[in-house]
Amino acid sequence: MSKRQLDALMWAQACAAMERADRLRRQFFHHGAPYWEAPVDIFETGEALIILIALPGVELETITVALSAGVLTVKGERPLPRELDNARIVRMEIPHGHFERRIELPPVPFELSGRHLANGCLMLRLQKG
C-alpha cells in the first residue's frame, strides 16, 4: 500500500470515528436530557418526500411532528411496558424513553400532507410546494 493510500485510509477511518462520536453525543446529550434517535429512510418522488421512521411500540397520538425553517423534527416517547416495572434488566438493546429526530430537508418548500403508522414505522409525506 502506498503512503498516499495509507493516508487516505487513515483519514477515512478518522472521519468515520468522528461521525460515530457525534452520533453518540447527539443520542445521549441533546438538550441536557438523554434521548434516542430512530433510524430513518427518505425517498423522493417528483412531488414529495416520503420519510419512514422506525418507531415500533410508539402510538401515533404520542408523536409530535414539526416542520420549521427547513428542518423536520419528530419527538415522542417509547415507554417500557408496565409489566416490566419490577423486572431486572438482563439485556437491553431496544431503545426506550424519549426520542427526537431532526432531519434537514432540501431547500424546497414542503408541507406535511400525511402521516400514519405502518408495521412499526411512522410514514410522513411532505408535499413539495
Predicted confidence (pLDDT) per residue in 70-112, tens digit: 999 999 999 888 898 899 989 988 888 899 999 999 998 999 9
Would you give the DSSP letter of residue 107? S
Q: pLDDT tens for residues 16-61?
A: 787 777 666 655 555 556 688 999 999 999 999 999 999 998 999 9
User: Alpha helices, DSSP H only, in the chain?
Assistant: 3-29
Residues 126 and 105: beta-carbon distance below 8 Å: yes
Is the CB of residue 113 less than 8 Å from the CB of residue 38?
no
Identify the pLDDT of residue 120: 93
Local structure of residue 50 (DSSP, 8 states): E
Go through the chain and tell me how many residues it has: 129
Predicted confidence at residue 7, as pLDDT, reads 82
DSSP 36: B
Which residue has cell 434521548?
35
